[in-house]
Structure 1
């Protein structure tokens, strides 16, 4: 029986899942041309087209989707078993993939995981900075980070930080020409810097609470930005009022570059959680990451 080279199948699975030869090449550490040639060879041997290629995207054909569903999980199982073998090594090793937002990656994940990376040089961590709700199982992430009230109940959820508090700010120059809002609904008369939700496509509604009373405000403005550092920069430039977790603004507030308003309407709420599906035998690398991130508040 002729033996098969399974690299072409792995290349196909990765391209089909990523929808891109470029991203697949980056993940696999090979050239795009090598992937393209391997998949073309696979299609020639099978005498059927597996991928539909356009100038903008790549997607599996009906035959390709059938092949992906039939063998994709088996490659995942092989990869999982190989990761489990690291338990037999003297030092834990392997890659842990986490999808998260920019703020929590900079202020929580990196500070807590830096000592771990220094102590275990064979552990690698990949952060996918993304503001959408990724399917961590389908997208093959080990874990994700979200606010506690947005996590599916079938996931294990672990608090990794203290409660958060939102802050409403603008630059001193902005408030020289615009009156400071005294009530959340006053923001409807201001230029506000919006953020669009990647999951649903709508703009974030600014939520406020005081003494048990909740107020939701749909703000307007000239700018819509999907990353928090850029929102901070826009506020510093005097382009409008911004709304983010207060940690994003703290240094600028302390040094007078930004002015905070409506603080009595910004109540604390549950902070960030690491979440992941129940797994019977977590790899040593993943277990170390979980312990490094665990907050003193314990498990939900």
Structure 2
């Protein structure tokens, strides 16, 4: 049987293994870095193996440490889930659910259901991070994520929330009156384009098109580089230049004639948004409630 100190050492090792930093892991566990270091050394002594490589500048897992972390993480999660489930069996689901979502996905699937979810589950706290970066959700401590299908890890359970999406080039009538419209992707080199880049990426995203047989990228140029899809659309609306956006997000502006879609024959569908989470033997009721509510809201939205 594991003692109380054993559990403390397990938590210490998992935190350092996930954060790869004693200072960040100490902050997560609300202990001092020196106390955390002692717990990890005690754990290494107990198992009789070096689990971490330490230098003055970095921390990394040894091969044995990686293997042990992979086995311990789901086991400790199951322990927490079992305790949480037992504590909630007497009442409503409660606790915190950490959510990572692309900004576009949040507008489509989270914003419409926040009020109804809060009314139905007042004891659940949703901790939502809106970020277009593709993060390791398990390592970063998220319970669930909403992202496009092409960037979901293979070992995740993925639930489709909506239809395929496509990106289209759009411009304001004012911009087209001043500069004309490109007839094909090659013509984009003669236009002022609003560029977008993934968070953490130094270079802007190449616009991707479909020629009927394959996808190909076009490196565009222009006066503005942003990391916000909303700002990209607003800049196009103001006549700054052409933008390459998710069609569904600007559909109302297209319907109103405030943005004009261009070269649609070069735009093809790609996998839309999915709700994804790690496979779990036991799922805490709060997470299950959130997943079910998002799926229900998405199903209703697809019918309207």
Map of 1:46 onto structure 2 = none
How far has the Cα of 1:116 moved from its partner? 2.2
* Preserved contact between residue 96 and residue 125 of structure 2 (Cα < 8 Å): yes
Gaps of 5+ in 2: 40-53, 300-304
Map of 2:216 onto structure 1 = 216
* Preserved contact between residue 221 and residue 240 of structure 1 (Cα < 8 Å): no
Map of 2:43 onto structure 1 = none
User: Following the alignment from structure 2 to structure 1, what is the Cα–Cα distance between the partners of residues 229 and 240?
Assistant: 15
C-alpha distance 113-195 of structure 1, shift in aligned 2 (>3 A): same
How far has the Cα of 1:91 moved from its partner? 0.8
User: Following the alignment from structure 2 to structure 1, what is the Cα–Cα distance between the partners of residues 246 and 27?
Assistant: 33
* Preserved contact between residue 78 and residue 282 of structure 2 (Cα < 8 Å): no
User: Following the alignment from structure 1 to structure 2, what is the Cα–Cα distance between the partners of residues 215 and 281?
Assistant: 40
User: Following the alignment from structure 1 to structure 2, what is the Cα–Cα distance between the partners of residues 250 and 53?
Assistant: 53
* Preserved contact between residue 108 and residue 161 of structure 1 (Cα < 8 Å): no
C-alpha distance 280-10 of structure 1, shift in aligned 2 (>3 A): closer
Q: Does 1:239 align with 2:237?
A: no
* Preserved contact between residue 81 and residue 283 of structure 2 (Cα < 8 Å): no
How far has the Cα of 1:203 moved from its partner? 2.4
* Preserved contact between residue 206 and residue 219 of structure 1 (Cα < 8 Å): yes
C-alpha distance 191-108 of structure 1, shift in aligned 2 (>3 A): same
User: Following the alignment from structure 2 to structure 1, what is the Cα–Cα distance between the partners of residues 181 and 148?
Assistant: 29
Map of 1:197 onto structure 2 = 198
C-alpha distance 258-155 of structure 1, shift in aligned 2 (>3 A): same
Structure-2-length-normalised TM-score: 0.72
Map of 2:208 onto structure 1 = 207
CA RMSD of aligned residues (A): 4.1
C-alpha distance 16-163 of structure 1, shift in aligned 2 (>3 A): same
Structure-1-length-normalised TM-score: 0.73
* Secondary structure of the corresponding residue to residue 182 of structure 1: coil
Map of 2:120 onto structure 1 = 119
How far has the Cα of 1:280 moved from its partner? 0.6
How far has the Cα of 1:241 moved from its partner? 0.8
For 1:222-261, what aligned pairs fall within 5 Å after superposition? 222=222, 223-261=224-262
Map of 1:292 onto structure 2 = 293
How far has the Cα of 1:141 moved from its partner? 0.7
User: Following the alignment from structure 1 to structure 2, what is the Cα–Cα distance between the partners of residues 18 and 256?
Assistant: 49
Gaps of 5+ in 1: 43-50
Map of 1:129 onto structure 2 = 130
Map of 1:47 onto structure 2 = none
* Preserved contact between residue 192 and residue 219 of structure 1 (Cα < 8 Å): no
How far has the Cα of 1:96 moved from its partner? 1.3
